[in-house]
Amino acid sequence: MKKTIINHGANLVILPTTQFKTLHIAVDFSTAVEPENISARALVSYLTAVSSARYKTQQQVAQKAIDLYGAQYQTDVFRIGQTHHVRFTLQIPAPTYIVGGKQLLTEAFDFLREMIFNPLTENHAFNEQVFANEQQSLINELASVKDDKSRYAVAKLREITYDKSGMRVSASGNEETVAHLNPSGVYQAYQNMINDDAMNIVVLGDINQQQIISLLEKWPIVPHQAKEEKEPFYRQASRLHLSELVEHKTSINQAMLTMSYQLNVKPFDDQRFAVMVMNSLLGGTPLSKLFMNVREKESLAYSIYSRWQHDTGFLTIAAGLDTTKVRQTDTMIQEQIKAVQEGDFDNQTVDAIKMSLISDYLSQRDSPASQMEVAFSRLLTRRETSEQEWIDCVKSVTADDIQNAAQKISLQSRYILLPEV
């Protein structure tokens, strides 16, 4: 993957392809997760989604997107390990299919530059009316988590799992912090993002590389001092005692059982492929033990899954179930883990899971977003694994590898959400 440095301040990767009839541009700002700046950065993404100095209202932003042949513009925030990201994306029809395509490309990059670098401000603060509207929108979004028992339970599990305070908070912050933000403080967070964040740009489509570079060189990208970028992967020491919380809510009629297990495989250790297969066997696919035995065979849960987070080293298990079945389900989950640890699984199922993982991996070829995500991951981690190497590593996972991976997991936290009696 070829990387170009723009204005000594941004990494650019261009993915030339004629596979799609669309052109995709994504600009990513990332920094270390800090609890005091997460909410402000999330609000920055809301504010820059709906206005700029030139396009002062959401309607004007939408109209400009329509003028760009129905472009799709959006912003987002998310976390990868211990890094926090604000991302701007723009999708337009491929200029090669448009009469006057060169002009469309220029206008698209000008629009994105405007939305990122020229926010609607007054006296070194965001516009008060737009700020108030978007602040309330973000508060409403954060409040809605309480109405989704699955999201709420996983969020509460996060709070009791991580030692580092910044890792306990949602990538969008929390209601209380957002409510206390002000236009000048969030503008300062925006300035910090523009001036100090690592900036990565990925462009995918049927494009001329030099043309893209020329357009980006006109952007006011801030040169960065040479400094070591934050390692995205997060790992923490194993706890000696289980963190556990049981909570009751009146607004639900089903229970949620969630557990977090530590699985501290080093980020680029080849064992990560065994962990991927092990997680799929345990609860990551419809062929898994949790799905087949806990849900289908014993009918203990309405939903159940396991998910391994490569960026943090934790494996999460979550189940939606009746209140009366929590204890029995917990016991059976531990039995399924023990079965995998002891090698109680057949090669036919493992082979099917490997093929499913490889099929899902190869399907990324058909998704512009997935291809771009791979490029961003390589920029962030400064590591590349070729497609064939990835496939070979999955295929080479043995039954012993799966057992060894399962034997490394250690229960760290349990959160149970129950209906109010």
In a shared domain, residues 171 and 260: no
Give the angle subtended at the CA of 145 by the CAs of 144 and 148, to the nearest 5°: 100
In a shared domain, residues 206 and 289: no
In a shared domain, residues 269 and 323: yes
In a shared domain, residues 357 and 408: yes
Residue after which a domain boundary falls, among 216, 251, 267: 216
Measured between alpha carbons, how far is 257 from 189 in angstroms, rounded to an integer?
Answer: 37
Residue after which a domain boundary falls, among 216, 235, 262: 216
User: Does some domain include residue 231?
Assistant: no
pTM score: 0.94
Domain residue limits at 186: 4-216
Matching residue, tokens 């057949």? 346
User: Does some domain include residue 228?
Assistant: no
Measured between alpha carbons, how far is 66 from 83 in angstroms, rounded to an integer?
Answer: 34
In a shared domain, residues 210 and 267: no
In a shared domain, residues 320 and 405: yes
pLDDT at 20 (0 to 100): 95
pLDDT at 226 (0 to 100): 45
CA nearest neighbour of 207 among 368, 24, 12: 24
In a shared domain, residues 265 and 190: no
User: Does some domain include residue 233?
Assistant: no
User: Which amino acid would we find at residue 396?
Assistant: S
User: Does some domain include residue 229?
Assistant: no
In a shared domain, residues 42 and 184: yes
Measured between alpha carbons, how far is 406 from 334 in angstroms, rounded to an integer?
Answer: 12
In a shared domain, residues 50 and 172: yes
User: Does some domain include residue 76?
Assistant: yes
User: Does some domain include residue 234?
Assistant: no
User: Does some domain include residue 237?
Assistant: no
In a shared domain, residues 262 and 156: no
DSSP at 365: G
User: pLDDT (tens digit, 0 to 9) for every residue of the chain, 421 residues total?
Assistant: 888 999 888 999 999 999 999 999 999 999 999 988 999 999 999 999 999 999 999 999 999 999 999 999 999 999 999 999 999 999 999 999 888 889 999 999 999 999 999 999 999 999 999 999 999 999 999 999 999 999 999 999 999 999 999 999 999 999 999 999 999 999 999 999 999 999 999 999 999 889 999 999 999 998 876 445 667 999 999 998 999 999 998 888 899 999 999 998 888 888 999 999 999 999 999 999 999 999 999 999 999 999 999 999 999 999 999 999 999 999 999 999 999 999 999 999 999 999 999 999 999 999 999 999 999 999 988 888 899 999 999 999 999 999 999 999 999 999 999 998 7
DSSP at 407: T
pLDDT at 229 (0 to 100): 62
User: Does some domain include residue 226?
Assistant: no
Q: Which two tokens stand for residue 317?
A: 């298990």
In a shared domain, residues 254 and 209: no
pLDDT at 89 (0 to 100): 98
* Secondary structure E strands in 68-214: 72-80, 83-93, 198-205
CA nearest neighbour of 45 among 144, 174, 193: 193
CA 14, 20, 24, 30 torsion-angle sign: negative
pLDDT at 218 (0 to 100): 93
Residue after which a domain boundary falls, among 216, 251, 277: 216
Measured between alpha carbons, how far is 272 from 86 in angstroms, rounded to an integer?
Answer: 27
Number of domains in the chain: 2
pLDDT at 228 (0 to 100): 53
**CATH number, residue 137:** 3.30.830.10
CA nearest neighbour of 413 among 258, 206, 284: 258
In a shared domain, residues 283 and 186: no
